[in-house]
């Protein structure tokens, strides 16, 4: 079975954002890593790149409109609160708000959620709408509660 840091490392390596990446949250149940790549990828290939890394991870994509995403985010939030006492509740609308805020700053944002055998993985990428580097990458690897 892969470990959280192995999954996050695959994502960061795929987007060439490993160098300088760092964990934002790291406990026994969840790992959130943020990084940036000096490269930009064409905006029209965001979705394809996210799908490709999902296939490399051998994950099953969860549709963005699925109620299952709310459950995944709630479990992730519970894992975060084990080490970060000051978080507020997370929901799918929070993702939409974050995306809208980044887009209002001239960034293009895409994210996908994948189920792996023991983990849920959320991958978000964003970059300037003019395809100017850097490409920002955030991956959340959360232990699944079945």
- pLDDT greater than 80 at residue 90: no
In tens, the pLDDT along 117-145 reads 999 999 999 999 999 999 999 999 999 88
pTM summary value: 0.89
Residue spans of alpha helices (H) in 82-143? 92-104
| Percent of all residues in the chain with a pLDDT value above 90, rounded to a whole number | 64
What is the pLDDT at residue 89? 55
What is the pLDDT at residue 97? 81
Give the up-direction half-sphere exposure of residue 78: CA atoms within 13 A in the CB hemisphere. 9
Most confident stretch, 74-78, 87-91, 123-127: 123-127
In tens, the pLDDT along 29-60 reads 999 999 999 999 999 999 999 999 999 999 99
What value does the mean pLDDT take over residues 99-106? 90
Place of tokens 């992730």: 76
User: Within 10 Å of residue 16's Cβ, how many Cβ atoms?
Assistant: 15
Residue spans of alpha helices (H) in the chain? 4-14, 46-56, 68-81, 92-104
| Percent of all residues in the chain with a pLDDT value above 70, rounded to a whole number | 90
Range of the domain at 79: 4-143
The answer to whether the CB of 137 falls within 8 A of the CB of 36 is yes
Total domains in the fold of the chain: 1
């Amino acid at each position: 079975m892969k470990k959280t840091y192995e999954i996050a490392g695959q994502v960061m390596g795929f987007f060439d954002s490993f160098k300088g990446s760092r964990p934002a949250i790291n406990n026994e149940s969840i790992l959130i890593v943020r990084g940036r790549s000096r490269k930009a990828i064409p905006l029209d290939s965001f979705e394809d790149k996210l799908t490709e890394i999902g296939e490399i991870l051998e994950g099953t994509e969860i549709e963005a409109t699925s109620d299952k995403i709310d459950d995944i985010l709630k479990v992730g939030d519970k894992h975060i609160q084990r080490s970060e006492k000051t978080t507020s509740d997370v929901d799918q609308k929070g993702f939409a708000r974050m995306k809208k805020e980044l887009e209002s700053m001239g960034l293009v944002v895409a994210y996908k959620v994948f189920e792996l055998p023991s983990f849920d993985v959320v991958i978000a990428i964003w970059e300037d709408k003019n395809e100017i580097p850097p490409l920002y990458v955030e991956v959340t690897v959360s232990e699944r509660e079945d």
